[in-house]
């Protein structure tokens, strides 16, 4: 027994402020044995009058440790329970005399955490007596009847370790435990068990304190320490997700941490450094998150809205914030890589024709009216495409034209990537939801209440809404079969769609018409100065388009009313129609603009030829006869030279953006604010209830508003190539909109009664954004690839097409072999196989996902099967256990642990869980399976719990522990 003594003496543990005086130095290596015994003596000498000090650094006491398990496992023993409670509640015994512990004939050993608060004599005793049983170190009186079956395995570790270090006692070694000491696994098992324990049971809470532990580390091999450390790290990582009380988590965490800190360095020096690095990195990461959290804008504002209106309205603002972020990056790209280099390195303003305001316009160039139209100085500024020079290299090395094109591509690329990443993220969150998994009613019941709501009025509305939706759902369910008045309904719906088409057609026609007209007005401005057209004429395109976006959705809403769809379906139609409207508008605008470009080009070609003729005649005549027609011709030539269609498109887009802002803000003021004012203050002098009946307060139309943001973003994507400053302009716009909207929603809107569920995890918005982005790339792509750039403005002037900048660069700058590679790579010989490969990959992935779905279904079937099967088995086992229980109490722990090993393999739960867990990825969550056990134990408890609850519970627990 001598070896035991030395070994265990060290094991005495102090819950001291900083250190757990657990063991002597371990570093010593070969001479560790001698040193150990040395220090052991030292410890044992001091033992006699030591007390265990139980305070943590933060001042929380660890008294709970010393109650440890009593409550968890011996609920039945009411006496014990009471004592525990007493001890638990009464203000912490700061010091427990070691003697008391010494008197304890048992040492507590917990599996999975291999944690021990031990005292040498304790181990010695129990070990001698029972060969394997060691129990709690605690106040003896607390645990009188502790037949905890969990001990076996840890004990194994303990014993084995002891054996390893002493190289003796192989006879004593029990057959190694079934489960071994795979830390990760144990950890999971442990966690699972935690979850499975009856939750009302306060004992389970204390129970884990007992794994505030220490192990007899001086005995462990390096590998074991390593494993333990790994285990502790697992704990640290996963502790957050445990549904425990904070206090308990705190303690567990602290202990795990201190363990890791203490032993990590000892493994090896390099490991220590590695660990220090990792720790630093963790700290850094946390600080970084803390830091960046400060910069998430409008968090409070959104939260306030959220608490007033629930999470659905807030999702609009969150979406808007996301769009804002995207625009921020876009404008950083454009400003940083195009505008700033051009301003710093390019020719200064006024040095070339494309950077100077023409003389005819300079009179008006600073007029507000001119600037308002983004003419004059603004037209000849870096805001627009036309300003940029076509020198291949500006400064010493910056290739602006190339950069311009690449930035154009980068803005699209970046947008695609962010949207897709966001979508993928959301998709991961929402998991695979197949159609068979639609639990309409349960979802309705358990996720309708929006815990965000903190406003009485909203809560009231919510109650009403929920009640209505329940009724609706019930009725819907009942009326699924009944369908009356079909023909009328079908007729109405067809009619409605015809109306909608008519409206869409009208809007497209209008847009086209206005663009055509604008051509005429522009001509007039160029020729006769900006005063020749009135305000309406100058801004007709932008105004009309904004009006359409403002008014037509309401028209659709009216039309939608006659379709009598279910509100949800109705809303979808509505959204789809609005989206089509917006897209149609943008596309018509583009076509009209391209049409205009073609027209201008033709005119230019005509004029050039006629001009040359005119010039000739002018030159042929002598100076004195230089007549007005010649001057006119020169002027018109100048006009044509200045006509830069790219700038024109850019101007149009910027104008649209700005006007859209104005109409939106105007709309908010009129539709929401003034209406709210009227309703509120005119109510008392009106014969009907304004607040309830006709005008009411405005509702926040979330879906329409989201679409509006998307539409706006579409304009940005279309226009950025022609007006690099557009994202920056848009940032301003979004800022203003954000504040106005969030103000308006709090001040004048009422919470909506009908809710469209488009939550953050929902990909619907992002899908719409993606569609928008995709469609917006076409016009720009067309312009880049197929339209000849203006000859006298912009970075691509002189090229046949815009993209030739890239091909030219490749041809001229790259080495020959690389050109060859490019040539070859772009030849059909490569492209076709690559294309085929992609198709094959797609095909493979789809079939893969199909097989996952099938596996999913299989697992579901299996779940059903296991559930019934397991229940049956556990019932049987519980009965068998019940018969054995009294006997167990009497028998030695040894026989019990033998029992442990005997019974465990037959317990199906764990094995099933293991067998299934690899398929977690397939979508049937293992959680469900994990929960099975929990579920199964319940009925049993209820059955027996009624008659003798306490006993049933104890039995259940012992059963359960065996299982694990």
Partner 1 sequence: MGGSDSKFDEQELEDYQELTYFTKKEILHVHKRFTQLAPDLVEVDKNATLPQDKIMMLPELRVNPFKDRICKVFSSSGDGSMSFEDFLDMMSVFSDNAPKNVKVEYAFRIYDFDEDDMISSNDLKEVIDRLTGEQRLGEEDMQQLIDNIFSEVDLDGDENLSYAEFEHVMSKAPDFTNSFRIRL
Find the DSSP H helices in 294-399.
Answer: 299-309, 311-334, 340-345, 359-362, 368-372
Which part of the chain contacts partner 1 (CB under 8 A), choosing from 63-71, 227-235, 767-775, 859-867?
A: 859-867
Tell me phi and psi for residue 907, to 5 degrees. -75, 125
**CA torsion sign, 238 to 240 to 244 to 246?**
positive
Give the tokens for residue 886.
């009294």
- Closest distance of CB 566 from partner 1, Å: 18
How large is the C-alpha radius of gyration of the chain? Answer: 39
- Closest distance of CB 284 from partner 1, Å: 13
Contacts of 647 (CB under 8 A, 6+ apart): 379, 384, 385, 386, 387, 722, 723, 793, 794
C-alpha 322, offset from chain centre: 12
Question: Which of 584, 934, 950, 951 forms a contact with partner 1 (CB under 8 A)?
Answer: 934
> Does 57 interact with partner 1 (rule: CB under 8 A)?
yes
> Does 931 interact with partner 1 (rule: CB under 8 A)?
yes
Contacts of 906 (CB under 8 A, 6+ apart): 877
> Does 927 interact with partner 1 (rule: CB under 8 A)?
yes
Question: Which of 246, 359, 687, 890 forms a contact with partner 1 (CB under 8 A)?
Answer: 246
> Does 58 interact with partner 1 (rule: CB under 8 A)?
yes
Parallel, antiparallel or unpaired: strands 95-97 and 51-53: antiparallel
The footprint of partner 1 on residues 871-910 (CB under 8 A) is 871
> Does 458 interact with partner 1 (rule: CB under 8 A)?
yes
- Closest distance of CB 484 from partner 1, Å: 22
> Does 397 interact with partner 1 (rule: CB under 8 A)?
no
Q: How many residues bind partner 1 (CB under 8 A)?
A: 89
Tell me how long the chain is: 964
> Does 864 interact with partner 1 (rule: CB under 8 A)?
yes
Question: Which of 771, 928, 950, 951 forms a contact with partner 1 (CB under 8 A)?
Answer: 928
Question: Which of 280, 281, 284, 441 forms a contact with partner 1 (CB under 8 A)?
Answer: 441
Sketch the per residue contact string, 270 through 289, with partner 1: x for CB under 8 A, - otherwise: ----------------x--x
Q: Where are the beta strands (DSSP E) in 466-554?
A: none
Give the tokens for residue 90.
């009464």
The footprint of partner 1 on residues 568-627 (CB under 8 A) is none
- Which of 899, 809, 953 shows the shortest CA–CA distance to 201? 953
The one-character DSSP state at 206 is H
Which part of the chain contacts partner 1 (CB under 8 A), choosing from 43-51, 234-242, 530-538, 671-679?
A: 234-242
Tell me phi and psi for residue 325, to 5 degrees. -60, -45
- Closest distance of CB 856 from partner 1, Å: 12
Sketch the per residue contact string, 15 through 54, with partner 1: x for CB under 8 A, - otherwise: ----------------------------------------
> Does 430 interact with partner 1 (rule: CB under 8 A)?
yes
Give the DSSP H/E element, type plus range, for residue 191.
Answer: helix 183-196
> Does 632 interact with partner 1 (rule: CB under 8 A)?
no
Parallel, antiparallel or unpaired: strands 698-699 and 115-117: unpaired
Looking at the Cβ atoms of 189 and 306, the one nearer to partner 1 is 306
Angle at Cα 124 formed by Cα 121 and Cα 128, nearest 5°? 145
- Closest distance of CB 658 from partner 1, Å: 34
- Closest distance of CB 657 from partner 1, Å: 31
> Does 172 interact with partner 1 (rule: CB under 8 A)?
no
Which part of the chain contacts partner 1 (CB under 8 A), choosing from 378-386, 450-458, 512-520, 703-711?
A: 450-458
For 793: left if phi > 0, alpha if psi spans -120 to 50, otherwise beta; the answer is beta
> Does 820 interact with partner 1 (rule: CB under 8 A)?
no
Which part of the chain contacts partner 1 (CB under 8 A), choosing from 13-21, 310-318, 540-548, 729-737?
A: 310-318
> Does 810 interact with partner 1 (rule: CB under 8 A)?
no
> Residue 654 to residues 292, 346, 596, 659, 708: CA-CA distances in angstroms?
32, 24, 18, 9, 16
- Closest distance of CB 72 from partner 1, Å: 16
* Dist CA 114 CA 158 (whole Å): 8
- Closest distance of CB 311 from partner 1, Å: 5
Question: Which of 124, 379, 450, 652 forms a contact with partner 1 (CB under 8 A)?
Answer: 450
Parallel, antiparallel or unpaired: strands 749-750 and 698-699: parallel
Looking at the Cβ atoms of 251 and 526, the one nearer to partner 1 is 251
Looking at the Cβ atoms of 303 and 517, the one nearer to partner 1 is 303
The count of C-alpha atoms lying within 13 angstroms of the C-alpha of 485, restricted to the half-sphere facing its C-beta, is 6
The footprint of partner 1 on residues 187-226 (CB under 8 A) is 195, 198-200, 202
Q: Which string of b and e fits 428-450 if b means at least 16 CB within 10 Å? A: eeeeeeeeeeeeeeeeeeeeeeb
CB 559, CB 499: distance < 8 Å: yes
Question: Which of 344, 353, 424, 474 forms a contact with partner 1 (CB under 8 A)?
Answer: 474
The footprint of partner 1 on residues 712-771 (CB under 8 A) is 757, 759-762
Contacts of 617 (CB under 8 A, 6+ apart): 630
Question: Which of 103, 140, 164, 253 forms a contact with partner 1 (CB under 8 A)?
Answer: 253
CB 227, CB 237: distance < 8 Å: no
> Does 239 interact with partner 1 (rule: CB under 8 A)?
yes
- Closest distance of CB 443 from partner 1, Å: 5
Beta bridge pairs of residue 108:
117
> Does 451 interact with partner 1 (rule: CB under 8 A)?
yes
């Amino acid at each position: 027994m001598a070896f035991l003594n030395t070994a265990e003496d060290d094991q005495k543990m102090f819950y001291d402020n900083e250190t757990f005086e657990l063991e002597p130095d371990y570093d010593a290596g070969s001479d560790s044995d001698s040193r150990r015994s040395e220090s052991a003596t030292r410890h044992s000498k001091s033992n006699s009058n030591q007390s265990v000090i139980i305070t943590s650094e933060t001042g929380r006491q660890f008294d709970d440790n010393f109650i440890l398990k009593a409550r968890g496992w011996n609920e039945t023993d009411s006496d014990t329970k009471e004592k525990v409670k007493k001890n638990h509640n009464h203000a912490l015994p700061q010091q427990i005399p070691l003697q008391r512990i010494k008197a304890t004939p048992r040492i507590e050993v917990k599996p999975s955490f291999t944690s021990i608060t031990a005292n040498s004599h304790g181990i010695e005793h129990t070990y001698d007596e029972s060969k394997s049983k060691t129990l709690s170190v605690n106040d003896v009186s607390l645990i009188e009847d502790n037949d905890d079956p969990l001990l076996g395995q840890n004990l194994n570790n303990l014993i084995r370790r002891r054996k390893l270090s002493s190289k003796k006692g192989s006879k004593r070694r029990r057959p190694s435990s079934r489960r071994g000491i795979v830390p990760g696994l144990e950890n999971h098992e442990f966690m699972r068990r935690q979850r499975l324990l009856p939750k009302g049971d306060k004992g389970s809470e204390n129970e884990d304190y007992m794994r505030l532990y220490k192990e007899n580390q001086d005995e462990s091999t390096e590998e074991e320490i390593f494993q333990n450390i790994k285990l502790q790290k697992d704990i640290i990582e996963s502790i957050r997700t445990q549904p425990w009380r904070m206090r308990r988590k705190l303690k567990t965490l602290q202990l795990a941490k201190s363990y890791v800190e203490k032993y990590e360095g000892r493994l090896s020096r390099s490991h220590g450094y590695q660990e220090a690095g990792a720790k630093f990195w963790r700290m850094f990461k946390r600080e970084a998150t803390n830091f960046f959290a400060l910069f998430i804008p409008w968090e409070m504002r959104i939260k306030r809205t959220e608490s007033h209106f629930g999470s659905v309205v807030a999702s609009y603002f969150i979406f808007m914030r996301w769009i804002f972020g995207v625009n921020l990056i876009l404008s950083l790209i454009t400003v940083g890589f195009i505008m700033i280099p051009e301003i710093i390195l390019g020719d200064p303003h006024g040095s070339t024709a494309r950077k100077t305001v023409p003389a005819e316009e300079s009179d008006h160039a600073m007029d507000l009216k001119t600037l308002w139209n983004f003419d004059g100085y603004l037209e000849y500024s870096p805001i627009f495409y036309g300003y940029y020079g076509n020198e291949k290299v500006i400064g010493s090395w910056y290739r602006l034209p190339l950069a311009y094109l690449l930035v154009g591509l980068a803005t699209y690329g970046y947008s695609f990537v962010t949207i897709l990443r966001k979508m993928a993220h959301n998709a991961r969150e929402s998991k695979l939801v197949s159609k068979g998994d639609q639990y309409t009613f349960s979802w309705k019941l358990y996720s309708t209440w929006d815990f965000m709501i903190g406003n009485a009025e909203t809560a009231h509305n919510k109650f009403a809404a929920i009640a209505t939706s329940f009724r609706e759902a019930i009725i819907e369910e009942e009326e699924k079969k009944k369908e009356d008045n079909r023909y009328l309904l079908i007729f109405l719906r067809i009619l409605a769609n015809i109306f909608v088409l008519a409206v869409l057609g009208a809007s497209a026609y209008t847009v086209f018409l206005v663009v055509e007209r604008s051509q005429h007005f522009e001509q007039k401005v160029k020729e006769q100065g900006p005063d020749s057209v009135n305000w309406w004429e100058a801004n007709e395109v932008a105004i009309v388009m904004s009006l359409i976006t403002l008014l037509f959705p309401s028209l659709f809403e009216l039309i939608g009313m006659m379709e009598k769809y279910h509100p949800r379906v109705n809303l979808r139609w509505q959204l789809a129609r609005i989206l089509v409207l917006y897209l149609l508008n943008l596309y018509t605008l583009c076509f009209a603009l391209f049409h205009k470009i073609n027209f201008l080009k033709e005119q230019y070609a005509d004029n050039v030829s006629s001009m040359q003729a005119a010039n000739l005649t002018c030159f042929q005549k002598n100076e004195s006869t230089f007549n007005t027609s010649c001057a006119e011709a020169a002027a018109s030539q100048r006009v044509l030279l200045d006509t830069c269609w790219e700038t024109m498109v850019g101007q149009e887009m910027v104008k649209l953006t700005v006007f859209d802002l104005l109409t939106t803000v105007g709309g908010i003021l009129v539709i929401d604010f003034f209406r709210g004012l009227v309703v509120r203050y005119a109510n008392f002098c009106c014969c009907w209830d304004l607040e309830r009946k006709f005008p009411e307060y405005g509702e926040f139309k979330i879906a329409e508003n989201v679409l509006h943001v998307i539409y706006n973003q579409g304009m940005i994507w279309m226009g950025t190539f022609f007006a690099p400053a557009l994202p920056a302009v848009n940032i301003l716009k979004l800022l203003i909109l954000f504040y106005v909207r969030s103000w308006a929603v709090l001040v004048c809107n009422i919470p909506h009664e009908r809710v469209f569920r488009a939550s953050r995890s929902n990909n619907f918005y992002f899908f719409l954004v993606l569609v928008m982005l995709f469609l917006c790339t076409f016009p720009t792509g067309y312009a880049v690839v197929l339209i000849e750039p203006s000859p006298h403005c912009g970075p691509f002037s002189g090229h046949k097409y815009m993209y030739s900048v890239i091909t030219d660069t490749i041809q001229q700058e790259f080495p020959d072999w690389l050109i060859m590679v490019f040539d070859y790579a772009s030849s059909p010989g490569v492209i076709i196989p690559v294309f085929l490969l992609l198709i094959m990959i797609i095909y493979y992935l789809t079939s893969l996902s199909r097989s996952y779905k099938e596996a999913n279904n299989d697992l579901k079937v299996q779940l059903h099967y296991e559930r019934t099967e397991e229940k049956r088995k556990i019932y049987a086992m519980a009965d068998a256990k019940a018969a054995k229980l009294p006997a167990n109490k009497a028998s030695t722990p040894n026989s019990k642990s033998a029992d442990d090993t005997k019974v465990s393999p037959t317990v199906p739960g764990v094995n099933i869980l293991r067998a299934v867990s690899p398929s977690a990825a397939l979508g049937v969550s293992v959680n469900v399976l994990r929960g099975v056990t929990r579920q199964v134990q319940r009925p049993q408890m209820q059955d027996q719990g009624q008659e003798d609850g306490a006993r049933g519970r104890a039995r259940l627990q012992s059963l359960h522990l065996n299982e694990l």
